[in-house]
Amino acid sequence: MGRIAGRVSAGRMHSGDQNQFTRLAAATHRDVRDNCPDDHATGCAVLHQDGVALRQRTRRYPGRKLTDGPADAQPAPSPDLSHVVFVRKATAADYGGELWILDLSPQLAPVGPPRRLVDPAALAHGSGDVPAMVASPRWSPTGKQVAFVDNPTGGAVDGGYLLVAAADTGALAPTQQKLFAESGFAWAPDGRHIAWVQARSDVRPVDVNVLAVGGASTPVATDTNASSVTYSKDGQAILFANGDASGLDAGVPPFAVRTGGIYSVAAAETGGKRPAPTPLFAKPGSYYGDITALGSGAVAFTTQPPGRGAADPSKTIQVLDAGSSLPRTTVTDVAVMLTCQDSPRGGSVCNAAQEPVWGAGDFVAYLDTSSGNWLVVTDLDNRSPTRVDTGVDTFAWSPAAR
């Protein structure tokens, strides 16, 4: 099932006493070990505050704090587990910060101090008083590059300029266009392409695009209401979650893909023609997002009916099994927003909760809607949901142990 790397907010560690956590860890290990590729790939969680930590949930590996920044977040372990990149934020309320990297030993111990990989202040920005910040780092499957977004709005708009940095030097890959992308972009299995959707601050159609890293970006589906994308396991298709756009055409260009649902489109043109998206599942009236292609061949995503407010700030996880035309609901208490925090720059910041993250063996980690927003790990059928800890802001599965 891999490990989870994550960040726990300062002052919000509620693990209970050590004996209580040991029982929880043992129960998690006992529940999932039959579904794991080996005994070293059991569940993990983050239990250290003020930084990024990796924790293998066995008695042999009680956990290790890796960084000590004031608000380190958004960890992303490399494919070979020899590095972890993360965002070093100035405050927990910030949308992003600087991109840092830490080398790890085969025992997952730090090898030297972390170092800054990308300084957002050195990137090209327009004028304004908003501090430069990057966010949403994602490793290429080859482990040689890290993609991220450079946000010039202070998080007022999710996403930012899509950039790719060399993992060893931080040097940026050349870009032919400025690509303002949603944070839910995805690497292709070949490590040479990235699927992405335009970020937006208003209601208008957007394209699903493919960036050839170091080259040009090409639209593969136009005028959609997509919010998140992923590649099929063979890399031949891009799957995207499309929010329902019924009734949204007044005063905006028309949507070519308007019905909410899950769609598939070829990742490249065939015979010089742009293929039309094919619905895998379509149903009007809901917002769909957080799409993931699972190892079992199923597609997981979240859904939220329109008009939900503070009285019901939740979304559900649904799974569309291979060969099925109708999804099934597995989890119903996924958090949409985390608790608002006062910003040192003034006002209150209400950050969106991190989307559910799927790991090996089709296990999912997500933040629930309970007080404290528990980090929960469960399987594809939600048979044994296990609460791991509260106070977790961001988290990520790591690959299987080396």
Q: Specify the pLDDT at position 124.
A: 76
The residue among 181 and 106 whose pLDDT is bigger is: 181
Q: Specify the pLDDT at position 14.
A: 32
Task: Judge residue 178's burial from the number of C-beta atoms within 10 Å of its C-beta, 0-12 exposed, 13-18 middle, 19 or more buried.
Answer: exposed
Domain ranges of the chain: 3-398
CATH number of the structural domain 3-398:
2.120.10.30
- Cα separation, 161 vs 166, whole angstroms: 16
Which of 163-172, 192-201, 222-231, 345-354 has the lowest average pLDDT? 345-354
The residue among 57 and 5 whose pLDDT is bigger is: 5
Q: What confidence category does residue 400 fall into, taking pLDDT thresholds of 50, 70 and 90?
A: low
- Cα separation, 291 vs 230, whole angstroms: 6
The residue among 273 and 226 whose pLDDT is bigger is: 226
CB atoms under 10 Å from CB of 379, counted, come to 18
Q: Specify the pLDDT at position 224.
A: 95
CB atoms under 10 Å from CB of 372, counted, come to 15
Q: What confidence category does residue 69 fall into, taking pLDDT thresholds of 50, 70 and 90?
A: confident
Dump pLDDT digits (tens) for 138-171: 999 999 999 999 999 888 888 999 999 999 999 9
Which of 182-196, 238-252, 297-311, 313-327 has the lowest average pLDDT? 297-311
Beta pairing partners, 396: 5
The pLDDT of 215-221, averaged and rounded, is: 95
* Alpha-carbon distances, residue 127 vs 95, 96, 124, 169, 322 (angstroms): 19, 18, 10, 27, 49
Q: Specify the pLDDT at position 352.
A: 81
Mean pLDDT across the chain: 81
Is there a contact between 273 and 265 (Cβ–Cβ < 8 Å)?
no
* Alpha-carbon distances, residue 321 vs 35, 229, 261, 280, 300 (angstroms): 18, 18, 14, 10, 8
The residue among 83 and 351 whose pLDDT is bigger is: 83
| pLDDT at residue 191 greater than cutoff 90 | yes
**% of residues, the chain, pLDDT over 90:** 52
Which residues, 6+ apart, have CB-to-CB distance to 136 below 8 Å?
74, 96, 148, 149, 159, 183, 185
Q: What confidence category does residue 136 fall into, taking pLDDT thresholds of 50, 70 and 90?
A: very high
- Cα separation, 340 vs 352, whole angstroms: 9
Task: Judge residue 18's burial from the number of C-beta atoms within 10 Å of its C-beta, 0-12 exposed, 13-18 middle, 19 or more buried.
Answer: exposed
Q: What confidence category does residue 115 fall into, taking pLDDT thresholds of 50, 70 and 90?
A: very high
Q: Specify the pLDDT at position 165.
A: 98
Tokens read off for 336: 């949409």
Q: Specify the pLDDT at position 153.
A: 86
Dump pLDDT digits (tens) for 320-374: 999 999 999 999 999 997 656 665 556 656 678 899 999 888 999 999 999 888 9
Dump pLDDT digits (tens) for 243-300: 998 877 666 778 999 999 999 999 987 667 778 899 999 999 889 999 999 999 999 9
- Cα separation, 91 vs 112, whole angstroms: 24
Round the CA-based radius of gyration of the chain to a whole number and report it.
20
The pLDDT of 92-116, averaged and rounded, is: 91
Q: Specify the pLDDT at position 281.
A: 95
Q: Specify the pLDDT at position 111.
A: 93
Which residue in this structure is represented by tokens 């980090």?
375
The pLDDT of 161-190, averaged and rounded, is: 96
Q: What confidence category does residue 19 fall into, taking pLDDT thresholds of 50, 70 and 90?
A: very low
**Beta-strand pair 314-320/180-181:** unpaired
| pLDDT at residue 11 greater than cutoff 50 | no
Q: Specify the pLDDT at position 218.
A: 94
| pLDDT at residue 16 greater than cutoff 70 | no
Q: Specify the pLDDT at position 211.
A: 97
Q: What confidence category does residue 56 fall into, taking pLDDT thresholds of 50, 70 and 90?
A: very low
Q: Starting at the earlier edge strand, list the strands of the sheet with 83-89.
A: 71-77, 83-89, 98-103, 115-118
**Beta-strand pair 363-367/375-378:** antiparallel
Tokens read off for 192: 């040479």
